[in-house]
Chain A
Amino acid sequence: MNLHEFLVSPAETAQRHGPHDRIVMSSRVRLARNVRDAAFPGWAKKPERVKILEMIRPAVESLPEMKGAFSEAMDNLGALDKQILVERHLISREHAAKSSGSGLVLNREESFCVMINEEDHLRMQALRPGLQLRQAWGAIDHLDSELEKKLDYAFDNELGYLTACPTNLGTGIRVSAMLHLPGLVLGEQINPIIQSVNKLGLAVRGLYGEGTEALGNVFQVSNQMTLGETETTIVERLEKVLAQIIEHEENARQTLLEKKPKVVFNHIGRAYGILANAHSISSKETMNLLSLMRLGVDMGLFPGAERSLVDELFILTQPAHLQKQFSDKLSAEERDLLRADMVRDRLKNVSRPVTKPTPPNTGN
């Protein structure tokens, strides 16, 4: 099966909506599971990993949720396809580096993605647009309950689900949301917020997770601790913290518009100016400027423009997605030219930002 044909198009992905998606771009709940009596993927020799993959993959494929899924061994995916999956946030960078003995099962709606033999035998995730942590937990809980009938999980009465890294022990759960926080960044409030979120035992990471930069003002917030609390308690804590972050971000945007309108208009106007007129632009600069344009759309400064256009460009301008649209192997410089051409073309019908916001686009 061809991955590119299978994946939902960036245009369609950008059209998906969920609660609070002005700020919360997506929600995800991931569970780590391992089968009994087998070494964890990082320690298992290749033949053992292959055996585990051959046992787990059919079990996952047979789930009703996975009807018509894309299922592939990682060694059958090219570097470009793997990078596209990373840019779509469907697999981790760590999983992209795997080859034989690891696999991937992704359902048609891209609401479930199961990584086999990443750090654990199973890393299954439920993904939802907007703020839908509870729904994502419900979905993955159900998938997990179906799967446990087919696989013998490594579970200990005292310690819960046993995982390769002790940091995931117990529930094996990671609940996370991807947040767009340009207001807090521009208002220089982001660092104290990150610190207080850290104090609550939650991690704040960059766009691609562990150890990455917050490109495009996108941050991931997730739980760190997995043992000693129920999954529901963890989900509820995240929900509470996210509600507060959303409120802070909304307030920050409001305050910026009231107290420093020129600063806001300047940032957004320059972002538009460069995006709409550049002839060479890096992926990093594109993302940071698209973030400001997204803020402008949210503030009603681009009447008639849809947030989905910005979100689509956010996906399309990333290196692997850009490369995929051209058959020849491109150098970074060539990509920068083509990226600029594409962005200019897509923005040709978007007028420059107004300074009297039309009634803010409330989203939902």
Chain B
Amino acid sequence: MDEKKMCSICKEKPATLFFTKISSDNKKQNVDLCDACAKAKGVDADPTALLIADADVMLGLGAALEVEQAVGTDLKCPRCGFSQGDFKKSGRLGCPGCYVTFAEGLRGLLKTMHKGTRHTGKAPEALRSTRENADKLKTLQAKLTKAIKDENYEQAAQVRDEIKQLTGRPAPTASPK
């Protein structure tokens, strides 16, 4: 018997358009659409329109699919009441706090969607110095750990002083014994 493939979006109607998304590492993922969902996504039988819509459709769809695989659907944001199921439906989140609630499931998704998973661009002025300090602190702490490991206590003391200066208090974890 010939089993009909159902639409990846609505999961109700049989699919009429079939896509295979091949990522850069040669992983294949199938996306099948019914007429109505294809139209809603701006894809129709015109091949030029297809090409234009391609990138968007794939990003959006791939995202929803991956989220579905990543987590169940009963997790709810304590701040706004938005659920994982709502995200699956709309592809949008409920509030800024959802990024904390759904952090787990979002991680893999962000990786496939973006160049990186850490923001490196503009930050609000008020946070800019804290951001820079946090970065600097990370580097210094790594330097301190290394100096201690290498038994280079002179350098360690120097780095510790720098950390002290940066944080206004003594470096907590890494004082040499």
Contacts and interface: CB of A to CB of B under 8 A. Distances in A.
B125 A43 contact: no
Given A148-B125, A166-B106, A206 B95 contact: no
B14 interface: no
A229 interface: yes
A228 B125 CA distance: 19
Interface of B: 41-42, 48-49, 51-56, 59-60, 63, 79-80, 82, 86, 90-97, 99, 106, 109-110, 113-127, 131, 134
A213 interface: yes
Interface in A143-194: 144-145, 148-149, 153-162, 164-167, 169-171, 173, 190-191, 194
Given A148-B125, A211-B41, A211-B42, A156 B114 contact: no
Given A43-B80, A145-B125, A154-B96, A166 B63 contact: yes
Contacts of A346: none
Interface stretch (A96-104, A196-204, A334-342): A196-204
B109 A166 contact: yes
B116 A228 contact: yes
A13 interface: no
Nearest to A148: B124
Contacts of A194: 51-52
B115 A201 contact: yes
Contacts of A34: 96
Contact of A43 (B41, B82, B113, B122): B82
Q: Which 4 A-B residue pairs are closest in the complex by CB-CB distance?
A: A228-B116, A211-B42, A160-B119, A154-B96
A298 interface: no
Contact of B99 (A145, A159, A206, A212): A159
Given A38-B95, A164-B92, A227 B116 contact: yes
A358 interface: no
A275 B80 CA distance: 55
Given A43-B86, A171-B122, A201-B115, 19 more contacts: A43-B95, A119-B92, A141-B122, A148-B125, A154-B96, A157-B127, A159-B118, A166-B93, A173-B121, A190-B48, A191-B51, A204-B52, A211-B42, A211-B53, A224-B55, A227-B116, A227-B119, A229-B121, A230-B121
Given A166-B113, A228-B120, A40 B92 contact: yes
A155 B130 CA distance: 13
Contact of A39 (B91, B95, B99, B134): B95
B123 A227 contact: no
Interface of A: 34, 36-40, 42-43, 119, 141, 144-145, 148-149, 153-162, 164-167, 169-171, 173, 190-191, 194-195, 198, 201-206, 210-214, 219, 224-231
A119 B90 CA distance: 12
A145 B119 CA distance: 17
Contacts of A227: 110, 113-119
Nearest to A231: B121
B82 A229 contact: no
A224 B119 CA distance: 15
Contacts of B55: 198, 202-204, 224
Nearest to B94: A43
Contacts of A141: 122
5 contacts: A160-B119, A170-B119, A211-B56, A213-B49, A228-B117
B76 to A, nearest CB: 12
A225 B131 contact: no
Nearest to A162: B96
Contact of B110 (A148, A154, A169): A169
Given A39-B95, A171-B122, A204-B55, A229 B113 contact: no
A289 B127 CA distance: 52
Contacts of B79: 37
A157 B122 contact: no
A165 B52 CA distance: 21
A99 to B, nearest CB: 19
Contacts of A229: 115-116, 120-121
Contact of B60 (A42, A153, A167): A167
Nearest to A153: B124
B92 A165 contact: yes
Nearest to B86: A43
Q: Among B52, B92, B131, which residue has the most Cβ atoms of chain A within 10 A?
A: B52
Nearest to B53: A211
Contacts of B63: 166-167
Contact of B96 (A37, A166, A203, A205): A37
Contacts of B86: 43
Contacts of B92: 40, 42-43, 119, 164-165
